[in-house]
Amino acid sequence: MRTIRLRDVEAHAPPRLFGRRVSGWVAPRRQPALLAVALLIVAAIALLSVAVGSVFIPPSVTLKILLSRLLPLRIAPDWPAAFEQILIEIRLPRVALVALTGAALACSGTAYQGLFRNPLADPYLIGVASGAGLGAMVAITLPVTQPLLVPSCAFVGAVLTIALVYALARVGGSTPVTTLLLAGVAVGTLATAFSTFLLLRLSQQATRVLAFLLGGYGGAGWESVLAVLPFSTLGCALLYLYARPLTLLLFDVEQARQLGVDVERVTLIVIIAATLTTAAAVAFSGLIGFVGLIVPHMGRLLVGADQRRLLPLSTLGGAGFLLLADLLARTVIAPEELPLGVVTAFVGAPFFLWLLRRARRAAFF
């Protein structure tokens, strides 16, 4: 009979919730089915999202309109023409943008948590948020009114910030994650300082600035979706391609190297991909926090830490999560809208409390 020492149990016990082991709940064999179920759930939430608004469009009508547009069938329209217009020009692009943003943030959040081997890592960790904020701020200062100006400047601001952080963090031939973190905090703080300065000068435009900072999709149209789509898709695809090296980095750096991983190269590519994804999302949606933090954790509870399974599930989960949050944002104080960042923050606080409870009993990684 094997005696179990208390030290063994405490150090290596998997976290438990109500007595059931909580990490990696779903057995590896059933995980592809889980992905299919997740896809269906996200599609259902999207349909519901599209339905809700100032005018209620029933899901059946939505499906009919979509089919008539996409397939060369002639379906006699038994719905008001206004429905179709609202659906195609307002609701669908918004839902698409929300889903894209959620997916992008969750995907890059998963990658960052893997790269930094830290469960508190999120897409904004090395300064993307501050850079995007500064870029947006600069754009608002300029006396030009072009709809894509703010997002473009936010994107450029984010990318330049990360480039600076990466350049600062290179030590000899390597970029250890601790220096990345420190450089990110330093540069991020500087960017925030500049932003705050500009904010004080822009007091008349405070609402515009605040709208960006708190996150929301007021004027989303198809051109926004088309602007975000290539970057986010490219970023997420690149991250998934590098899922195995990223998984190996979860062990320590030395083990990864000894299994043949080019740690420097993988670090650089993951940062580039995650930055592209995040910057594109943030440029249009403003700063929406907690998605990149919470969704990977949830995913890990279901399928464990292997990035090849976690990334797809997190991406879908992020889309679903943000769609739900957006639904709440639009309905809670209808006809007004809550900023999306506020809704996710309200979900984030209880989540952190739960993390704290877990942390008392088990290690994360």
Distance CA 340, CA 310 (A): 25
Nearest Cα to Cα of residue 339 among 237, 240, 214, 235: 214
Closer to other proteins by CB, 28 or 147: give it: 28
Give min distance, CB of 240 to other proteins, in A.
Answer: 10
Which is nearer to other proteins, 31 or 161 (by Cβ)? 31
Whole-angstrom distance, CA of residue 100 vs CA of residue 280: 10
Minimal distance, residue 301 CB to other proteins, in Å: 9
Minimum Å distance from CB 321 to other proteins? Answer: 20
Report the residue number, 306 or 326, with the smaller CB distance to other proteins: 306
Residues that bind other proteins (CB under 8 A): 2, 8, 12-14, 21, 23-24, 27-28, 117, 241, 244, 247-248, 250-252, 254-255, 257-262, 300, 304-306, 362-365
CB of 293 to other proteins, least distance (A): 17
Nearest distance, CB of residue 241 and other proteins, angstroms:
6
Given a contact cutoff of 8 angstroms between Cβ atoms, the answer to whether 103 and 315 are in contact is yes
CA angle 34, 228, 326 (to 5 degrees): 60
Q: How far apart are CA 297 and CA 166, in angstroms?
A: 26
Give, as one character, the DSSP assignment of residue 89.
I
Residue 76 CB contacts under 8 Å (≥ 6 apart), including other chains: none
Q: Take residue 288 and report the two structure tokens written for it.
A: 């929406």
Q: Which is nearer to other proteins, 261 or 282 (CB)?
A: 261
Residue closer to other proteins by CB (options 79, 364) is 364
- CA–CA distance, 278 with 155 (Å, rounded to integer): 9
